[in-house]
Structure 1
Amino acid sequence: MQLQIIVTLSVLLLCDAKLPRFKPHSQPNELPSNPPHSQGLGQLQAQSKTEKTSRIIDQYRVRHRREIFDSKSYESSLTWAHSERLDQNGDVILRWVNTDSSITFRLEAKTRGYVGLGFNSARNMRGADLVVAWVDDRNGNAQVLDCFGSEHEDRAIADDVKNYELISGYQNDTHTTVEFRRQLDTCDKQDFVIGEDTTQILWALGPDGSDGQLPKHVKSGARPLRLLQPVSKPESIPLNHWDVRLTNLTIPHVMATLFWCKIFKVPELPKKHHIVGYEPLIDSRPIRNNIPVVDPTSQSPVHHMVLYECAEDDDKHLWNTWSEGDGYFGPNRPSAWATCATPIAAWAIGSQGEFLPENVGIPLGEKGGVSYYMLEVHYDNQALHNVLDSSGIRVHYTSSLREHDGALLGAGIGVSALHVIPPKQKQYRTVGICSTECTQETLPEDGVNIVSVLLHAHGTARKISLKHIRGTQELPRISEENFYDSHYQQSRMVPRGRKFMRGDTLITECTYDSTSRDKPILGGYSAKQEMCLSFILYYPRTELAGCYSMTPVKEFFETFGVKEFYGLNFMQVENIFLSSGSFENLPPQPLMELEAQKHNVNETGEQGMQGDDQGVGLMKELVIWEPPEFRNKSFMAHLNEMPWAEPLLTEQIEKTLYKGMHMTFCKKRDDTWGVPIQIQSYPNYTELINNETSEKSCHYKSVRLPSVTKTSAGATNKYSWLTILALCITLIVAR
């Protein structure tokens, strides 16, 4: 038997040697394979790769390409599900549509040179997945080059494996347009896996005439996007809109952080309506020489906005008066506004708003039970500019009622200075809990259905996940972002929804990178402080509005080695944190060591007034009495002087605050407690093991897509290797 196999293989090889040599059919993106290379990118390797890339591009430019389709005669008839400007002027527009396994792009760029598109987790091309496309000025044929970014410098290297397929391409007097596609996961180490996480979309435009060359780009940029987000905009239903916005609010240059709140009365509606979506209205004009001006290059200080329902109140006259006024600075708003506790729309930087699924709507109108709403706008004005602002939210609503009444639930870590992230940490985790007791008491017997989630934190957050615990078992994550970008906070649809039962637990976990910070980061509303929140859209509507936790005061301060403060016990400090935050009854400070507080640059390294600081000011006022080695220092000074470079210290603090005791809060829509405040241990459960990577069987070879390209009339058909093999076998049999 072995002898027969050897003889057969010998005959096949002989047959193959005598047949004319045919090259495999080349797809437009199939360049000659690069020779094997090592993973290191030293000077010799870098020079070799540069020469190799230049050689490939030269071959790509000069060889006869008549087998490529005439791109001017072909353009796909795809319906593009998504369309985004990648730059502010609209010179680069990306459209795309995806299936379960592949994604197709249309790139429209204002250039007659090359256009580059890249995918990365960072806002640079180092290690990025890159594709460079152009249209040949001589024959009008479009071409694409599969590349990747060097790990050590900003330059493109031709990829060994070609995973981009050209569909069409053409250019006119001003623009170049190309269409191409790829697999979501190509199993190629040099390619970026396109998934549910935020992707940094890189773009670059080459100079005119740079067909097949890679000179330095003339324009470039990056924009965070989630490419696999579902389409949620309603099709053709009768929609009305209600603009909930401020009017000519002056943001003073002395306020680095400002919260402004205003009451609005609902439109006069004859019956119940449903809110089905919302979008931001950003109108910020810098004031120059006492005149507000329109400047497209000026960045708005609007950081995030939340629209809250207000519980019903018999004093309609007072609420009408408030609705006709200009509003209040956040900490000074009337105490009755605390009943405006149920969020119905949450917007943050980078979001374009949200439209609800077709079976869910949020009740609107007095006939639906709510008459007044509060808009809360957070301004981040670290540049300390004078700005005139009229921003807000456009609410879309309809009289065509949906099947279910929906609501929004706020969860995570209660915004407070008791939320601390040490400096110089690469991956530091904090966690907020929505307790079993809260959901057991407030949710219906059949539970609720979670539709979408907006994950919210500030600039040092890198990962956020919303965990789902049932009993002692963690279920698959409801929502997760592994490449969080605070400049792109679009809500995330939950695929196929999620059933959340009475007695289940929610855990919002945030991971921070504070390596660029020299001092601890406190929780708060300033963009230089931090948050860890989830805004969860669900149905059917319940009385639950907020479900949070934070570290109990005594456990928090003891974690940092503090046993007692001057003139205050821990119970009194806790009451201050849980009350309005008034510090009027604080004892006089015994030392004058806190002079830094009198300057614009304070102990947390922030400039200007920070508005609603949620206890940050208290951290600077509390003076340590015990233990003696810390005596007469403010707690903030103590935090700043801790040896944060010691990993054993930070690891122990993280473990204690994460897995230790938690004070839980369960708030209803009318600002009453769903269950009393409780102090409880971190839930005991079996963590979910993510084994998706181990189940993958990628061998890092090219994954070919079915061809959708057309060839020109003069193109020559080539034999495939399978055809040659079949011919050999036929000749053997014939003999």
Structure 2
Amino acid sequence: FGTCGIMGVSPLLVPLALFLSHVLGALVDPTLPFSDYLYPGNSTMLQWGFDLVKNSILFELSMKTAGMTGADIVIGGVGPNGIIILIIYFTDRHAVRNSVPLLDKQQDYELVYLTEAYGQTVMKFRRSISACDENDCLITVMPVKLIYAYGETDNISFHGSHQGTKEVNLLKFMPRVSVPDSKYFDLTMTNFTVPAQNSHYHCKVMRNPALDRKYHIYRVEPLIDNLDLVHHLLLYRCPPIVTSPKEQACYTEEAQAECYQTVAAWGVGGGAFELPKVAGIPVGDDGGETFYRLEVHYNNQYETPSHVDNSDLLFYYTPQLWHCCDNATDFLSYGLCDAGYIPQVQEAAQDLQVFSVILHTHLAGRKVRVGQFRDGKQIDFVAMNEHYDFEFQQAVNPPKKLRPFCW
């Protein structure tokens, strides 16, 4: 699997029937803390771990099994009669065109083990994080595309439809947090028949389950019923004036427009999201009286009828309130005004002379500083007030030494 940016793993494995119990069983390999499904049906899982000090990354690919130009590829499998006569093949290759991947002159992947038994094929291997030769792709902190393919025999040939791709950030992947005493509830688009039209936004206003006390949501996990149709999900919190459930096309009533406080979002290709331990979404302190609006955008590009969708969002919550900034003594808020946009609203001049400034922050502000920047570096302060008072908003003159804004 892979394009340049990550090596490819193309396991052409015999009767390729992979079962995920090896990955999801009770024994967890501490050297492989990260995992992701590469195929929506959970039939292809990749686990990995890395050591930046040793410049090493370890992979384990598991599959249910019976155009990669420029990709850095590894191919492996267990040959015919593999259970009786253990014939293992494992090679480092690269793709140059739509043909059989070429064997690298330098073999930079190290096979840890490769097994096929009980309807399961697992390949574990490692390589250097950095590129070892011109045919290896450098693994960086940026997302990369993983491409995988497999065959039903041990002949290394065109894989047909047995392939897929997914974008993953290997070195900045968020592992799942284990939180004791956690529970979850879901908000679901139940049995909705997707219209036979190219684009449709459907909204459902519903109440969250009543909870006995205040909790913090720490994980939001999408369960997408039709990955080929659902483009994104948005969840909004409604104000107290919304007191009844309803379901209809989005943006057709004022009551829906009232629900605008964003709680969660998911977009195509994304996965679960876990909040850091300095943040949590409060829930349960309202007696179950709060309503939410779930918005689902369906992208039915072929306008096929009769698709029924039950996509939803799972919200994992814990009684252990995470350390949010509820009682923080202060925090900083930044804003940027780019002088380059001024000619769009008034006639351009050679320079801009600032002769007066009014500092305004509503009631939250305690200190205000307005800086002047040029070429990405601050060169002066236009105005500042270290003891801001909302009841005293007086225009002030900037210092005479202020340099003109130029563009």
- Asked if Structure 1 and Structure 2 have the same fold, meaning a TM-score greater than 0.5 normalized by the shorter chain, the answer is yes
Give the CA deviation at 1:306.
1.0
Shift of 1:127: 0.8
Mapped to 2, the partners of 1:168 and 1:506 lie a distance apart of 57
Q: 1:406-425 to 2 correspondence within 5 Å?
A: none
Give 1:204's aligned amino acid: A
Aligned to 2:333: 502
Is the 1:278–1:396 contact (alpha carbons within 8 Å) kept by the matching residues of 2? yes
Aligned: 1:392 with 2:337: no
- Aligned twin of 1:125: 68
Choose from 121, 142, 147 the match for 2:93. 147
Question: How far does residue 259 in structure 1 lie from its aligned partner after superposition?
Answer: 1.5
The amino acid of 2:230's aligned partner reads V
In 2, the alpha carbon distance for the partners of 1:310 and 1:362 equals 15
CA deviation after TM superposition for structure 1 residue 178, in Å: 2.1
User: Could you tell me the percent identity over the aligned residues?
Assistant: 28
* C-alpha spacing 1:216/1:369, structure 2 compared with 1 (3 Å): closer
1:135-189 superposed Cα distances (whole Å, 9 cap, x missing partner)? 3548526442111111x43331112222211112233364432211012222432
1:104 aligns with 2:50: no
State the partner residue of 2:216.
274
Aligned positions of 1:247-646 closer than 5 A: 247-253=190-196, 255-283=197-225, 299-311=227-239, 313=240, 315=241, 319-321=242-244, 323=245, 325=246, 327-334=247-254, 336-367=255-286, 371-386=290-305, 387-404=307-324, 446-447=330-331, 501-505=332-336
Give yes or no for contact 1:362–1:405 (8 Å, CA) kept in 2. Answer: no
Shift of 1:555: 5.5
User: Which amino acid counterpart does residue 243 of structure 1 have in structure 2?
Assistant: D
1:506 is displaced (CA, Å) by 11
Would the alpha carbon gap of residues 175 and 396 (structure 1) be closer, same or farther in structure 2, given more than 3 Å must change?
A: closer
- The residue identity in structure 2 corresponding to 1:355 is E
Instruction: Give 1:201's aligned residue.
Output: 146
| Structure with greater helix share of residues | 1
Q: State the SS of the aligned residue for 1:404.
A: coil
CA shift digits 1:634-674 (9 cap, x unpaired): xxxxxxxxxxxxxxxxxxxxxxxxxxxxxxxxxxxxxx9x9
Q: Distance in 2 between matches of 1:373 and 1:685?
A: 45
Match of 1:81 among 33, 43, 47: 33
Against the structure 1 CA distance between its residues 267 and 87, is the aligned structure 2 distance closer, same or farther, given a 3 Å change threshold?
closer
Which one-letter code corresponds to 1:281 in the other structure? L
Partner of 2:114 in structure 1?
Answer: 169
How far apart in 1 are the matches of 2:294 and 2:337? 26
What's the offset of the Cα at 1:91?
Answer: 4.9
Q: For 2:132 and 2:336, locate their aligned partners in 1 and report how far apart those are by CA, in whole Å.
A: 36
CA shift, 1:79, in A, is 4.4
What's the offset of the Cα at 1:446? 4.2
Q: Report the AA paired with residue 220 of structure 1.
A: Q
CA contact (8 A) 1:363 1:405 kept: no
**What is the CA–CA distance in structure 2 between the aligned matches of 1:199 and 1:269, rounded to whole Å?**
41
Letter in 2 for 1:363: P
The answer to whether the Cα contact below 8 Å between 1:125 and 1:155 also exists between their aligned partners in 2 is no
CA contact (8 A) 1:141 1:169 kept: no
Which residue does 1:180 correspond to in 2? Answer: 125
CA distance, structure 2, for counterparts of residue 247 and residue 110 of structure 1? 30
Q: How far, CA to CA, are the matches of 1:506 and 1:163 in structure 2?
A: 50
RMSD: 3.7
State the AA in 2 paired with 1:364: V
Change (3 A) 1:356 1:171: same
Partner amino acid for 1:305? Answer: L
- Alpha carbons of 1:91 and 1:329: their partners in 2 closer, same or farther (altered >3 Å)? closer
Max Rg structure: 1
Letter of the structure 2 residue corresponding to residue 389 of structure 1: D
CA contact (8 A) 2:148 2:164 kept: yes
Which amino acid counterpart does residue 159 of structure 1 have in structure 2? Answer: D
Equivalents in 1 of 2:103, 2:145: separation in Å?
A: 20
Deviation at 1:263, TM superposition (A): 2.1
Work out which of the residue numbers 183, 201, 206 in structure 2 matches 1:240. 183
Shift of 1:337: 3.9
SS of residue paired to 1:332: coil
User: Structure 1: how far apart are the matches of 2:127 and 2:140?
Assistant: 13
Are the counterparts in 2 of residues 266 and 366 from structure 1 also a CA contact under 8 Å? no
Q: How big is the shift at 1:222?
A: 2.3
Q: Cα 1:184–1:380, aligned 2, differ >3 Å: closer, same or farther?
A: same
Distance 1:227 1:161 in 2: 24
Normalised by the size of structure 2, how large is the TM-score? 0.67
Counterpart code for 1:329: A
1:259–1:79 distance in 2 versus 1, CA, 3 Å:
same
In structure 2, relative to structure 1, the CA distance for the partners of 1:221 and 1:376 (3 Å cut) is: closer
Q: Deviations over 1:372-413 (max 9, x none)?
A: 32212111122112233332212221222111169xxxxxxx
Distance in structure 2 (CA, Å) of the matches to 1:236 and 1:503: 34
1:107-155: CA deviation from partner (whole Å, max 9, x where unpaired):
234569xxxxxxxxxxx310111111233548526442111111x4333
Provide the residue aligned with 2:165 in structure 1: 222
Q: Which runs of 5+ in 2 are unaligned?
A: 1-27, 346-361, 365-371, 378-407
Number of aligned residue pairs: 318
In the alignment, the residues of structure 1 paired with residue 100 and residue 336 of structure 2 have an alpha-carbon distance, to the nearest angstrom, of 47
Q: 1:143 to 1:342 in 2, by over 3 A?
A: same
Find the aligned partners of 2:188 and 2:65 in 1 and give their Cα distance: 39
Offset of residue 302 of structure 1: 1.6
Q: Secondary structure at the match of 2:171?
A: coil
Give the letter for the 1:203 counterpart.
Y
CA, structure 1 residues 159+506, in 2 after alignment: closer, same or farther (shift >3 Å)? farther
The AA in structure 1 aligned to 2:375 is T
Matched position secondary structure for 1:107: strand
What is the CA-CA distance between 1:227 and the residue it aligns to? 2.1
User: What is aligned with 1:686?
Assistant: 375
